[in-house]
Structure 1
Amino acid sequence: MANILSSRSLEFAQTLVRMNTVSANSNLELIDFVRDHLAGLGVRSRLTYNADKTKANLFATLGAGKPAGVIISGHTDTVPWDGQDWSIDPLSAMVQDWPQASLREDGEIQRAEARLYGRGAADMKSFIAIALANAERFMESTSPFAVHFAFTYDEEVGCFGVRELIADMKDQGVKPLACIIGEPTNMVPAIAHKGVYRYKCCVRGKEAHSSLTPQSVNAIEMAARVVSRLRDMADGFENSEKRYEGFDVPFSTASVGQFHGGIADNVVPRDAEFRYEFRNLPTADAQLMQKEVVAYAARAEEAMKKVAPDAGFSFETICEVPSFLGSAADPVTRLAQRLANEDRTTLVAFGTEAGLFKNAGIPTVVCGPGSITQAHQPDEYVSLDQLARCELFMHGLANTQEIR
């Protein structure tokens, strides 16, 4: 028998999906909705803002006065849908059965799967909505643990908001026992993911007519040398790094995502720019990888400066999202397995805020409804069965008497 999702949780999920919280936009509509709902229950929320106060994190404690608590965490921003081939309005929050035809080619009846469609349905507004819909249950619980809601901004562009939330939490003396992050894992607890480290490199050369190349420094060619070095590093990871089985790609990776430079065929380019990333295993150090790139560029820079003293390389950090490594033996992992009725654990390829919570000394696990294969895609969706499993997870958390 299929699990049944409450109408209240579905209504909350649809409400949040209909809010446009693409990372380039403000998330305050969603944060204000959560704050106002909790205020109606007598719960005070604490907000921490970005520099221009267009975005905010929300932290709230349900069951205040209990000695310790468990964080339920999710990010409020979504990726954009520009250029994607959606068959529906990405903000429609439509519920529809799939497949619509109920008869397979072999004549057997095919059970339809009810799905919630829309940007953020899987990643990860539905998880936030189900937590919010069960706020009263957490408040009325006889569990000895409080539940903390921690909802963040700008996860999709570098996990920027959560850093402010964690710092504020420490300032307030909040010391949670554990953290559960509801990224889409099909309700299978995830105990590890890679880090995501992105950088921009700007190269300044010296322009000249292309007939006078010895009098110039070609920024594109110098940039290409560093790009080639990155490719060599990537090959080295694939060929030599100790495998971490369980990941889709069981070694660290390096890749260049953007490259720009030059103004005309007959002008030696003065400027070039490229962006690249490392996705490191939890057992590898991405910052050492970056130091290797910077050192290589510094050696190449010596010859550049002989022609033009102001030529050289500059590097800018775009984001540094640490890897996450938990354990199947961690009490929070075992708790998530019991609540999700799952014997398994998994590893995920995508980055989350888990490494930041873990590095703050908070035992963490990633477990939420839906699949990452639906996230960021046209016609993003999550099945109502997955949402119902998540709701049962929340019910179990409200009744939890110990974390072991």
Structure 2
Amino acid sequence: MSTRYTPREMLEKLISFNTVSDRSNLDLIAFVEDYLSGYGIASVRVPDETGTKASLHARIGPARDGGVVLSGHTDVVPVAGQNWSRDPFSAWVLEGKLYGRGSADMKGFAATVLAKVPDFIAADLGRPIHIALSYDEEVGCFGAPPLVRDMLAKGPRPEFVIVGEPTNMKIVTAHKGIAVFKTTVRGHPAHSSQLHRGVSAISAAAKLICWLDARTAENKANADPDCAFEPPYTTLHSGVIKGGEAHNITAEHCEFTTDFRLLPGDSKQSWLDRYKAFIDTEVLPGMLAISGECAISVTELAYVPGLSEEVDGPAETEVRGLTGDNARHVVVYATEGGIFQEHGLSTVVCGPGSIDQAHQADEFIELVELERCAAFLDRLMKRLS
């Protein structure tokens, strides 16, 4: 029999595993496997291609379709360069708050779910509870797609999903998607006094960035005033750029990274097609007229689909009944919820803690939030029994 943990104790244990996204999460996964095994629960690893990370899923209750997935990610963002009061991977409690990296985002939810495993087992569940823990959410939600595919392939099929990102236990029914692209421009070097003989990769990149900015401005001007998102339109933002060697040489190389923050239902491919059409018709021909070595390439680095509001979806119906929250809440950050929804699973986001604490130095979650989450899971358990 495994040790029984309170949500606070389990959270302190999970925080002790340094699972910053550039590190392995296998020690945490092994701990969860052993913990579940101690209660007679089999779990399934879904490793990444390198074998240094893994997701995990497990089922408690009958082997039948229906029930719920309780989903969280195991990775956390870096602490480097942040001014922490204490060791971020050794939790501490002060004035009703539990501090540590991942306390709010989002080990608090995972900890409460795991602490409730003995109660889930003891309940006479008529519908199963699935636990799903992923890797690399913070760097692109890379672990969730293979995790969801593996869960569905091995069955049974759940009815709805709760992604436990920090929402102060309010129900979030929609969020924006994100697509990240790197644009690489190859120009032709020449002495800047003979500018007509060269092609500046930086100047070409500037035209592209200005085009992206102009599309955001158009979206803002045409935004639906009834849209619940803030901002209420798709944005195209370039956050990183580098290129050039010297002030008096036309830059041979420039690259920049752009993210599209997409309203649910807005097509990533449609925006990409428009962008590439502008490159091919308005920018690249003039470059090639000077040098055939010039080129522009666009590479997708990450894509997380948005979560769309569902009309009378089972996830929203169930969770509204459990929380009593009938207000409309949408968020502009992305979660793994859109990935579950893309696979045909009704999904909402609801979890303990505040997103305002995510990624911050001295990240914390209020202990009362863990209590509220535990009470929510108790009600869920009774609903499924």
The answer to whether 1:121 aligns with 2:87 is no
Secondary structure at the counterpart of residue 145 of structure 1: coil
Whole-Å Cα distance in 2 between the matches of residues 66 and 307 of structure 1? 65
Whole-Å Cα distance in 1 between the matches of residues 88 and 40 of structure 2? 33
C-alpha distance 318-244 of structure 1, shift in aligned 2 (>3 A): farther
C-alpha distance 258-244 of structure 1, shift in aligned 2 (>3 A): farther
Check whether the contact 2:67–2:384 (CA below 8 A) recurs between aligned residues: no
Instruction: From 255, 263, 269, give the equivalent of 2:237.
Output: 255
Secondary structure at the counterpart of residue 296 of structure 2: strand
Q: Structure 1 residue 220: deviation in Å? A: 0.2
Q: Structure 1 residue 238: deviation in Å? A: 0.5
Whole-Å Cα distance in 2 between the matches of residues 297 and 81 of structure 1? 38
**Partner residue, 2:26:** 28
**Partner residue, 1:303:** 286
Check whether the contact 2:181–2:259 (CA below 8 A) recurs between aligned residues: yes
Check whether the contact 2:234–2:260 (CA below 8 A) recurs between aligned residues: yes
The answer to whether 1:385 aligns with 2:365 is no
The answer to whether 1:288 aligns with 2:267 is no
Higher deviation after alignment, 340-349 or 288-297? 340-349
Check whether the contact 1:339–1:392 (CA below 8 A) recurs between aligned residues: no
Whole-Å Cα distance in 2 between the matches of residues 82 and 200 of structure 1? 25
Whole-Å Cα distance in 2 between the matches of residues 47 and 349 of structure 1? 31
How many residue pairs get aligned? The number is 381
Whole-Å Cα distance in 2 between the matches of residues 92 and 341 of structure 1? 35
Check whether the contact 2:65–2:159 (CA below 8 A) recurs between aligned residues: no
The answer to whether 1:182 aligns with 2:180 is no
The answer to whether 1:136 aligns with 2:108 is no
RMSD: 1.5
The answer to whether 1:214 aligns with 2:196 is yes
**Partner residue, 1:349:** 332
Give the AA of the match of 1:329. Answer: D
Instruction: From 52, 72, 75, give the equivalent of 1:74.
Output: 72
Check whether the contact 2:66–2:127 (CA below 8 A) recurs between aligned residues: yes
Check whether the contact 2:65–2:158 (CA below 8 A) recurs between aligned residues: no
The answer to whether 1:365 aligns with 2:363 is no
| Runs of 4 or more above 3 Å deviation | none
Give the AA of the match of 1:371. Answer: S
Give the AA of the match of 1:363. Answer: S
Whole-Å Cα distance in 2 between the matches of residues 251 and 243 of structure 1? 10
C-alpha distance 171-327 of structure 1, shift in aligned 2 (>3 A): closer
Whole-Å Cα distance in 2 between the matches of residues 401 and 296 of structure 1? 53
* Deviation by residue 1:71-91 (Cα, 9 ceiling, x = unmatched): 000001111122122222211
Q: Structure 1 residue 309: deviation in Å? A: 1.0
The 5-angstrom pairing of residues 136-155 of structure 1 reads 136-155=118-137
**Partner residue, 1:51:** 49
Secondary structure at the counterpart of residue 264 of structure 1: coil
Secondary structure at the counterpart of residue 36 of structure 1: helix
Secondary structure at the counterpart of residue 116 of structure 1: strand
**Partner residue, 1:162:** 144
* Deviation by residue 1:311-353 (Cα, 9 ceiling, x = unmatched): 1101111111101013373222122123234333411121001
Whole-Å Cα distance in 1 between the matches of residues 156 and 218 of structure 2? 43
Q: Structure 1 residue 68: deviation in Å? A: 2.9
The answer to whether 1:317 aligns with 2:300 is yes
Check whether the contact 1:328–1:334 (CA below 8 A) recurs between aligned residues: no
Whole-Å Cα distance in 1 between the matches of residues 56 and 155 of structure 2? 16
Check whether the contact 2:172–2:350 (CA below 8 A) recurs between aligned residues: yes
Give the AA of the match of 2:344. Answer: G
Whole-Å Cα distance in 1 between the matches of residues 162 and 226 of structure 2? 23
Taking structure 1 as the reference length, what is the TM-score of the superposition?
0.91
Whole-Å Cα distance in 1 between the matches of residues 116 and 39 of structure 2? 12
Taking structure 2 as the reference length, what is the TM-score of the superposition?
0.96
Check whether the contact 1:94–1:117 (CA below 8 A) recurs between aligned residues: yes
Gaps spanning 5+ residues in structure 1: where?
1-5, 98-113
**Partner residue, 1:235:** 217
Whole-Å Cα distance in 1 between the matches of residues 77 and 156 of structure 2? 31
Instruction: From 246, 249, 265, give the equivalent of 2:228.
Output: 246
C-alpha distance 13-244 of structure 1, shift in aligned 2 (>3 A): farther
Whole-Å Cα distance in 2 between the matches of residues 152 and 244 of structure 1? 35
Aligned-residue identity in percent: 38
Whole-Å Cα distance in 1 between the matches of residues 13 and 359 of structure 2? 19
Whole-Å Cα distance in 1 between the matches of residues 93 and 356 of structure 2? 19
Higher deviation after alignment, 219-228 or 342-351? 342-351
Higher deviation after alignment, 140-149 or 342-351? 342-351
Whole-Å Cα distance in 1 between the matches of residues 272 and 218 of structure 2? 15
Whole-Å Cα distance in 1 between the matches of residues 116 and 65 of structure 2? 21
**Partner residue, 2:61:** 63
The answer to whether 1:274 aligns with 2:256 is yes
**Partner residue, 2:358:** 375
Whole-Å Cα distance in 2 between the matches of residues 240 and 218 of structure 1? 34
Q: Structure 1 residue 242: deviation in Å? A: 2.3
Whole-Å Cα distance in 1 between the matches of residues 328 and 315 of structure 2? 12
